Structures are given as C-alpha cells and as structure tokens.
Amino acid sequence: MGEAFFNHEWDFPAWPYVEPLKDIQADSMEIATTLNSPRRVAARRNLDFETIVQEKCADEEKLISCAMQVAEKINNTPYVQANPDERVTWREVAHPQLGNGLQMQILDKNSASSNERSEKETASNQSRNGSRNGRMNGRRVAA
C-alpha cells in the first residue's frame, strides 16, 4: 500500500442535537470568528462539506433562475409596464423569509458599541442608585 496506508479521514461520531439553536449559533460564531473552517465544522457533524457546497450551489442556481423568470413575468404585466417604478428584481422574488418568531437586526459598528455602552451605563446607574438609597436588589438594608 505504500504511503496510501497512512491516508485516512476521521469520521467523528454524530449525536442528535440537544439544544439545536445553541449548537448552530456556536458553529456560526466559530466560523464567523475564523476559529474554525466550515469544512471542519461540517466534518465534526459527520457531514461531507463538498456535497453541502455542491447542493447549496445547485439550489441557489435553481432559485435564482426561477426568480428571474417570475420577475420577468411580473414586469411584463400591463400594470408594471404602465408604472415602471413598480418593477421588481429577482432578488425581491427570491428574498428569504425569516421563520415565525425570528427577528433580524442589522447593526453598524457605531450602533453596536453605543448599545453596549448604553447597557453598561444603565447597569452602573442602577447599582449606584440602589446603594445610595440604602437598598439592595429592591430591599431595604438594615443599618
């Protein structure tokens, strides 16, 4: 077998999700902060990264192609032709919808830091006000 004897791939054991949201958030954060690569995260779940990429690209190709056709069909209606400001793009047709109960917030760098500062200031003010009034966690402290 020669050098081929040492060629191998690890197949990590896969367990069902106990807390799927936390697991997915942790994986996303790990990838976003470049602590791990998408292919290694997939391998840890015993998934084939190459298959995932190929399937994702094929799915996107179908979605975008279909959305382009639908947008073209919408834009050829008499209403849209009479109102060119109402034209739609394939991106509007293919826009992913969030699941029920999910919210998305887009923050820029400045608003994220100001939110963190605001939370810290609020917590600091609450603790100072509590100690000034002789109160701790809403209860009177015996002197």
Is 54 among the domain residues? no
Domain holding 111, by residue range, is: 106-143
The answer, yes or no, to whether residue 119 has pLDDT greater than 70, is no
Is residue 140 classed as helix, strand or coil in its secondary structure? strand
Is 16 among the domain residues? no
Is 34 among the domain residues? no
Residue that wins the pLDDT comparison between 27 and 109: 27
pLDDT of residue 123: 57
- The string of pLDDT tens digits covering residues 34-69 is 999 999 999 888 889 999 999 999 999 999 999 999
DSSP structural state of residue 96 = P
Is 133 among the domain residues? yes
> Dihedral, CA atoms, 25, 29, 30, 34, nearest 10 degrees?
160
Is 128 among the domain residues? yes
Domain count, the chain: 1
The answer, yes or no, to whether residue 117 has pLDDT greater than 60, is no
Is residue 136 classed as helix, strand or coil in its secondary structure? strand
Q: Are 34 and 3 within 8 A, CB to CB?
A: no
Q: Residue 71: how many CB atoms within 10 A of its CB?
A: 19
pLDDT of residue 38: 96
**pLDDT class for 125, splitting at 50, 70, 90?**
low
Whole-model pTM: value is 0.53
Is 120 among the domain residues? yes
- The string of pLDDT tens digits covering residues 67-85 is 999 999 999 999 999 999 9
How many whole angstroms separate alpha carbon 39 and alpha carbon 51?
Answer: 11
The answer, yes or no, to whether residue 131 has pLDDT greater than 70, is no
Could you tell me how many residues make up the chain? 143
Burial track 86-122 (b if 16+ CB lie within 10 A, e otherwise): eeeebeebbeeeeeeeeeeeeeeeeeeeeeeeeeeee
How many whole angstroms separate alpha carbon 81 and alpha carbon 78?
Answer: 5
The answer, yes or no, to whether residue 96 has pLDDT greater than 60, is yes
132 residue type, one letter = R
- What percentage of the chain exceeds 90 in pLDDT? 45
Is 10 among the domain residues? no
Is 118 among the domain residues? yes
